[in-house]
Amino acid sequence: MKNNKGVGFGVFLLTVGIIWVLVSVGVISWSIINALFVLWPLILVIIGVNIIFRNNKIIRAVAWAAFLTVLISYSYIFDDKTNAGGIRTGEKVTIEKLAEVQKGNLKIAFGGTRISLDSGTLKLLEAEIQDKDITYAEKSLDGETSISFDKKAYSISNFNTNLNNRNNRFHLSSQVPWHIDIDTGAVDGSFDMSGLSVEKLSLDTGAANLALTLGAKYSNPVVDINAGASKIEINVPSDAGVKVRMDGALNSTNLDGSDWEKKNGVYYSKGYDEASVKIDMDIDMGVGKLLVNFK
């Protein structure tokens, strides 16, 4: 019995040692850790095989060897899948503005993060990514380019909630209208869209500390915000007409001031009907502070 236990422990140490050496020399990457999160139930199978064939050292050794082979093979598949379009921390992403591109769609799906967004580029998009384990994809069809930035699945770094030094900067072209969709666990950010033609901005977040500035380049922009505990300040052009549908539990807001009228539960800025630029906002906040300022 002692010999059997010794063989099993020896095979385990051999497996760990082989994996460590292969990672160290670059034959495989640390994505094998992520693969282990997916394939861990196989360990139960191996334990079962060891119990059933506890007197057969060959079968037990073959079972561990097979598990090691499957784990390494899957780590290659996982690495290929998650690193396609992968971004190293601090890397810049540049997408050229082609003449045939008439519209842009931007999707950002991170965990807790810090984001700044503005119109400061002659390209279609420039991005400086500080978050870890981010992939991006680009697709163009019929004059419309869709760009997405996503957090990799099954990454142990997903649990990093420290926002220090993680300011992800996105610079968008002012030459095309945009649909912008941001989905985060939490976001601390500044969105200066005064120079952008924004058709629609959608923000879905657990919590937000956000300063948002809208411009007048698009005549009927739509802002859809779904947030938990948040502080959101929205700056709009002084001559814009603004309509706000607001839902939430305990929210502090300046919408009850003299610049607003409330009809059927919806807030309208004074002069809304005559304004050439009308901004439609639908805001659902669990608790927090919402300010809409005319500047």
Q: How confident is the model at residue 161 (pLDDT cuts 50, 70, 90)?
A: very low
Give the pLDDT of residue 151. Answer: 82
> What share of the chain in percent tops pLDDT 90?
51
pLDDT at 211 over 90: yes
Mean pLDDT of the 113-138 span: 91
Mean pLDDT of the 229-239 span: 94
Q: How confident is the model at residue 157 (pLDDT cuts 50, 70, 90)?
A: very low
| Nearby residues of 55 by Cβ (< 8 Å), 6 or more positions away | 4
| pLDDT, mean over the chain | 82
pLDDT at 251 over 80: no
pLDDT at 192 over 60: yes
Dist. CA 188–CA 11, nearest whole Å: 48
Mean pLDDT of the 243-271 span: 88
Distance of CA 283 to the CA centre of its chain: 20
Q: Which amino acid is at 103?
A: K
Give the pLDDT of residue 159. Answer: 40
Q: How confident is the model at residue 82 (pLDDT cuts 50, 70, 90)?
A: very low
Dist. CA 188–CA 293, nearest whole Å: 19
Give the pLDDT of residue 243. Answer: 97
**Closest by alpha carbon to 104, among 194, 189, 201, 191?**
201
Mean pLDDT of the 233-247 span: 95
Q: Lowest-confidence range among 87-96, 146-155, 222-231, 245-254?
A: 146-155
pLDDT at 51 over 70: yes
What are the tokens at 163?
């926002």
Q: How confident is the model at residue 35 (pLDDT cuts 50, 70, 90)?
A: low
Top-confidence residue, 76 or 133: 133
- Helix ranges (H only) for 156-252 are none
Dist. CA 220–CA 198, nearest whole Å: 9
Q: Lowest-confidence range among 42-56, 77-91, 173-187, 242-256?
A: 77-91
Dist. CA 291–CA 295, nearest whole Å: 12
Top-confidence residue, 11 or 249: 249
Mean pLDDT of the 109-131 span: 92
> What share of the chain in percent tops pLDDT 70?
74
Q: Which amino acid is at 40?
A: W
Mean pLDDT of the 239-267 span: 88
Dist. CA 67–CA 169, nearest whole Å: 42
A 10 A CB-CB count for 63 gives 21
Instruction: Indicate the burial class of 267 (C-beta count within 10 angstroms; 0-12, 13-18, 19 or more).
Output: buried
pLDDT at 105 over 50: yes
pLDDT at 83 over 70: no
pLDDT at 109 over 80: yes
